[in-house]
Each structure stands twice: as structure tokens, then as C-alpha cells.
């Protein structure tokens, strides 16, 4: 028999190569290539002809999928309204961010409402999970708990549990298939185990939730190698230094992907945050230069956040630009527009930008708020503490319309703001903008107008 050729697999992206390299040519990560035993592959011995596949028309019945709400509203919202039977969800996140806590809470809530829920922990012993459940006040939930890593044993138990509604596997990187000759956590093991679990979930019509640790070191395969196999991918993010946690949908075959769920990590587990704006603005101080409130939209929900900018003199040249919570390329563009189109001098200053509260903003609508924070820092003039900002900025300095202006203004009104700085309405916009009572609208067409507003308040241009 021919000697099996070794194969080298990138643990970050799953790319295959014939030899070891220090850097993956596919994804560019360093030190992620690991030798793995060749997969068993399709058996060439089987020569029987396959059965025919049934093809059907597109115009069949297409009812929306049934949903099982877990009772954790923020989790259900990101899922698109609850768990879908016979589906696979991947919950990814850094170690220690709160994945096990979130799933234990969701599983217990679902079990308490009369559904059968199985929780398989490969990382913690039964006593540890029990201790956590007691701490969370969930010890009485009729959840079925097991500590196991051998996937063949787990699969046999799951095949017998056809009435289950939800099965949690914590984590997929600890699962071990004895038919694959490589260590738990490698790409082959992670993919093989996930494939088997998803197959059983589809056959038995339960939802399987796989926990996946985001890893930097190459010996453990990260969640990226599973994203194409599952129906829904959720990332649980947050800064360990902050108590906020954001659950973000990045792929969802059964719902929208731009939804977020906001939680707060407390002594008694994760608490839902129904009004994130109030939380993100809680520590804001009104009269500090370099701060502006952005009226953003995350999914279907408006969220107000504070952006902060600090300028520090650096006359030696090559100034630093450091950003937390926003795109650094976009900041460079905005600074260039402010210098070139509005005459603001920033090239002798380090620029530090921070989105308060640990939220990460991806919307271009934040441009205007960030520009306001930079201008405010540069002129030493605080922004109006009762004002919110939103609008996209183009390369010539023009301020462009953004979606959902009404929702942003309404949220600002709800939180007691009195003014909004937003893009000037264009003539063709025949739908009148809804201006909530008590909110004064300051429409601007060019970033220069914003600089002018600040210049009017201060002696230093």
C-alpha cells in the first residue's frame, strides 16, 4: 500500500499545502501551519450507482421557519426571532468573554419553558457547570448536562434524543473523533466533529449550538473553518475591561445579519440591556472638548454612542493615528478631508480616537460625529452637549444623506437630546423629514459649515 502523503493545514483558514511554511499563503497568518494525518477520503471501493435525487419546482410551499424563543430576548433577536429546528448555530468569541455563561442561561431558560435541552461540556467538569448554574440562580432548571469529549459516544446519545429542542456543544474545539488521526482542535477534528453533529441535528430536527473559541495561536482551529458549514454565525464580542458584551450576527440563513444584542456582564451572569444608548452614554461628561454623540443604527435598532478624540502635539513629524472602535483607514480619509477641504491643521498632532463603551462602529454615517469630535478637539471647544451628529462625508467634504434618519432622531429625542446636526436635505427628497418635537435640526451640506460653527464660538480658528 502506498504511504499516505502528509498534508499541512492552516489552522486559521483551513488551506491545504504540500509542505510546512512559516506563513500561510492563503490567509497570511504566521505559524498556523500544522501537519495533519490525511483524511480517510471517499472510499473508492464503493462502485454502486447512487439513487436519483428528486428535483422540485421553486413554487412549492415556503412557510417561514418555525421558531423556538429561548426567553433571552437579545439572543433571540440576533437569531432572527428564536432558534430554528434542525439548524446549526456557531457562537464564536474570545476565551473568557462569556459564551458558556450566555448559553447556560439560554439553555436553562428554554428548559424551564418545557423544552428538552442537552448541554455537553467538553471543557468543564459537571461540578463546575453546576457551580456556575447555582451562581446564576439556575440550578433548578431541568437541563440535561454531560461532560464528554468523545464524539462517537455523544453522537449515540444524541441519536437517541430525538425530542430535544436544543443541544449545546461547549466547545467544538474539545470534541474528539477517534476515526480521525489528529489532535482535538485541529482543522480535521473540528470539521469532522461539526459535520457529524450537524448531520444528527438535521436528522433529529433539533438546533445545535456550537461554541467556537477565536484563537490566535495556530494549534487550535478557529471558528472561521466552520462558518460555511453552519446556518448561523454569531460573534460574542466585548472588551474584557468593560462589562458590555455585544452579540453580533455575521451570517444567518434564517434572518438579518446586522442585528446586535447588548448584554452587561454582572455578578449574576449576563443581563440584557434593553436600552443600550442610555448605557453607552452613562459616563459622558458634557463640556469636554473632543467629544460628540453619534446617532447610529445597529440592525433595526438606533444606538447613541459617544465618540472621543484627543489631539496631542507632535511637532517632530510622522504623527500617530490610533483608533479604538472604528476603521483607521476611514479616520485617515476624514483627517485628510478636514485638512485639505476645510483648512484644519492636524499634521503636527497625534490623533487618538475612541468609541466609548467598547462598541465597534462600522457605519459611514459616523463620519460627521467623528469629524465633530476632531474639530472640537482641534478648536478646544466642546460640542453642544444636547446635540447628536450623523451623516456620511465624501472626499470633497460634502455631507451625504444616510438611511434611517427618522429612527436616529427619535432615539435622540427619547434620550433627552435637543438638537441634531445632519446632512442637508436634497431637493428631490419629497418625503418630509420627521422632526421630533423638541429637536432642533441643523442641516449642513459641507464639512466646512461644521468647522465654521466651531470657529464662530472660539477665538482660535
- In the shown chain, the binding pattern of residues 105 to 134 toward ligand TYD, with x for contact by CB under 6 A and - for none, equals ---------------------------x--
In the complex, what is the shortest distance from the CB of residue 249 to ligand TYD, in angstroms, rounded to a whole number? 17
Q: Name residues whose C-beta falls within 8 Å of residue 261's C-beta, 6 or more positions apart in sequence.
A: 74, 75, 77, 78, 246, 247, 272
Residue numbers 272-331 binding ligand TYD by CB under 6 A:
none
357 binds ligand TYD (CB under 6 A): no
Give the interface segment with Mg ion, choosing from 56-64, 95-103, 228-236, 450-458 (CB under 5 A): 95-103
Give the interface segment with Mg ion, choosing from 83-91, 93-101, 263-271, 378-386 (CB under 5 A): 93-101
Between the CA of residue 85 and those of 66, 67, 291, 364, what are the distances in Å? 7, 7, 46, 36
Q: How far is CA 404 from the centre of its chain?
A: 21
100 binds Mg ion (CB under 5 A): yes
The C-alpha cell of 146 is what?
454531560
Strand 440-444 with 419-423, pairing = parallel
Task: Count the helices and strands in the chain (H runs, E runs).
Answer: 10, 21
354 binds Mg ion (CB under 5 A): no
How far, in Å, CA of 176 to CA of 315, rounded?
Answer: 58
How far, in Å, CA of 147 to CA of 31, rounded?
Answer: 31
When CB distances to Mg ion are compared, the closest residue is 100
In the complex, what is the shortest distance from the CB of residue 211 to ligand TYD, in angstroms, rounded to a whole number? 7
In the complex, what is the shortest distance from the CB of residue 170 to ligand TYD, in angstroms, rounded to a whole number? 7
Count of residues in contact with ligand TYD, rule CB under 6 A: 15
Give the number of other Cβ atoms within 10 Å of residue 208's Cβ.
Answer: 29
Is the Cβ–Cβ distance between 230 and 88 less than 8 Å?
A: yes
The residue within the footprint of ligand TYD, chosen from 269, 302, 358, 382 (CB under 6 A), is: 269
4 binds ligand TYD (CB under 6 A): no
77 binds ligand TYD (CB under 6 A): no
The residue within the footprint of ligand TYD, chosen from 77, 99, 191, 408 (CB under 6 A), is: 99
The C-alpha cell of 373 is what?
469630535
In the complex, what is the shortest distance from the CB of residue 82 to ligand TYD, in angstroms, rounded to a whole number? 21
The residue within the footprint of ligand TYD, chosen from 126, 268, 278, 348 (CB under 6 A), is: 268
How far, in Å, CA of 421 to CA of 446, rounded?
Answer: 12
The C-alpha cell of 40 is what?
480517510
The residue within the footprint of ligand TYD, chosen from 4, 66, 96, 137 (CB under 6 A), is: 96
354 binding partner (options ligand TYD, Mg ion, none; Cβ < 5 to 8 Å by kind): none
97 binds ligand TYD (CB under 6 A): yes
Give the interface segment with ligand TYD, choosing from 189-197, 215-223, 227-235, 261-269 (CB under 6 A): 261-269
Q: Which is nearer to ligand TYD, 214 or 333 (CB)?
A: 214
How far, in Å, CA of 228 to CA of 341, rounded?
Answer: 44
Q: Which is nearer to ligand TYD, 15 or 233 (CB)?
A: 233
101 binds ligand TYD (CB under 6 A): yes
In the complex, what is the shortest distance from the CB of residue 265 to ligand TYD, in angstroms, rounded to a whole number? 5
Q: Give the DSSP per-residue string, 130-151.
A: HHHHHHTT-TTS--EEEE--BH
Q: Give the DSSP per-residue string, 40-70.
A: ----TT--PPPPPPPP--SSS--PPPP-B--
Question: Residue holding cell 472638548?
Answer: 289
Name residue 247's beta-bridge partners: 236, 261
Give the interface segment with ligand TYD, choosing from 49-57, 60-68, 77-85, 263-271 (CB under 6 A): 263-271
Chain residues binding ligand TYD by CB under 6 A are 93, 95-101, 132, 135-136, 265, 267-269
Amino acid at each position: 500500500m502506498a504511504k499516505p502523503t502528509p498534508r499541512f493545514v492552516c489552522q486559521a483558514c483551513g488551506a491545504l499545502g504540500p509542505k510546512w511554511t512559516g506563513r500561510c499563503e492563503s490567509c497570511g497568518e504566521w505559524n498556523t501551519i500544522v501537519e495533519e494525518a490525511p483524511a480517510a477520503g471517499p472510499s473508492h471501493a464503493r462502485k454502486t450507482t447512487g439513487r436519483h435525487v428528486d428535483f422540485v419546482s421553486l413554487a412549492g410551499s415556503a412557510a417561514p421557519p418555525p421558531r423556538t424563543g429561548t426567553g433571552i430576548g437579545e439572543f433571540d433577536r440576533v437569531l432572527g426571532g428564536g432558534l430554528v429546528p434542525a439548524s446549526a448555530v456557531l457562537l464564536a468569541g474570545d476565551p473568557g468573554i462569556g459564551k458558556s455563561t450566555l448559553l447556560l442561561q439560554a439553555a436553562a431558560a428554554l428548559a424551564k419553558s418545557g423544552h428538552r435541552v442537552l448541554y455537553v461540556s467538553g471543557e468543564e467538569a459537571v461540578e463546575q457547570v453546576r457551580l456556575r448554574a447555582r451562581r446564576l440562580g439556575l440550578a433548578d432548571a431541568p437541563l440535561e448536562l454531560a461532560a464528554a469529549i468523545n464524539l462517537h459516544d455523544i453522537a449515540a446519545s444524541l441519536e437517541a434524543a430525538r425530542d430535544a429542542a436544543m443541544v449545546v456543544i461547549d466547545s467544538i474545539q474539545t470534541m474528539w473523533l477517534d476515526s480521525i488521526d489528529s489532535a482535538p482542535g485541529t482543522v480535521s477534528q473540528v470539521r469532522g466533529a461539526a459535520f457529524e453533529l450537524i448531520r444528527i441535528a438535521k436528522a433529529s430536527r433539533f438546533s445545535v449550538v456550537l461554541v467556537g473559541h477565536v484563537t490566535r495561536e495556530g494549534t487550535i482551529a478557529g471558528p472561521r473553518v466552520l462558518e460555511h458549514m453552519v446556518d448561523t454565525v454569531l460573534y460574542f464580542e466585548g472588551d474584557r475591561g468593560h462589562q458590555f458584551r455585544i452579540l453580533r450576527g455575521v451570517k444567518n440563513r434564517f434572518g438579518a445579519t446586522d442585528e446586535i444584542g447588548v448584554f452587561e456582564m454582572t455578578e449574576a451572569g449576563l443581563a440584557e440591556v434593553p436600552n443600550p444608548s442610555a448605557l453607552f452614554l452613562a459616563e459622558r461628561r458634557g463640556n469636554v472638548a473632543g467629544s460628540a454623540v453619534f446617532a447610529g443604527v445597529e440592525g433595526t435598532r438606533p444606538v447613541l454612542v459617544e465618540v472621543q478624540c484627543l489631539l496631542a502635539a507632535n511637532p517632530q513629524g510622522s504623527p500617530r493615528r490610533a483608533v479604538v472602535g472604528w476603521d483607521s483607514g476611514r479616520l485617515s480619509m476624514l483627517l485628510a478631508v478636514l485638512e485639505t477641504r476645510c483648512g484644519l491643521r492636524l499634521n503636527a498632532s497625534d490623533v487618538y480616537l475612541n468609541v466609548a463603551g467598547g462598541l465597534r462602529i462600522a457605519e459611514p454615517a459616523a463620519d460627521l460625529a467623528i469629524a465633530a469630535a476632531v474639530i472640537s478637539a482641534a478648536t478646544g471647544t466642546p460640542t453642544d452637549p444636547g446635540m447628536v451628529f450623523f451623516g456620511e462625508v465624501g472626499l470633497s467634504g460634502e455631507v451625504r444623506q444616510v438611511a434611517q434618519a427618522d429612527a436616529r432622531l427619535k432615539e435622540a429625542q427619547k434620550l433627552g437630546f435637543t438638537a441634531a446636526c445632519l446632512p442637508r436635505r436634497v431637493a428631490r427628497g419629497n418625503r418630509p423629514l420627521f422632526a421630533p418635537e423638541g429637536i432642533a435640526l441643523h442641516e449642513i451640506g459641507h464639512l466646512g459649515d461644521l468647522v465654521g460653527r466651531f470657529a464662530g464660538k472660539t477665538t482660535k480658528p
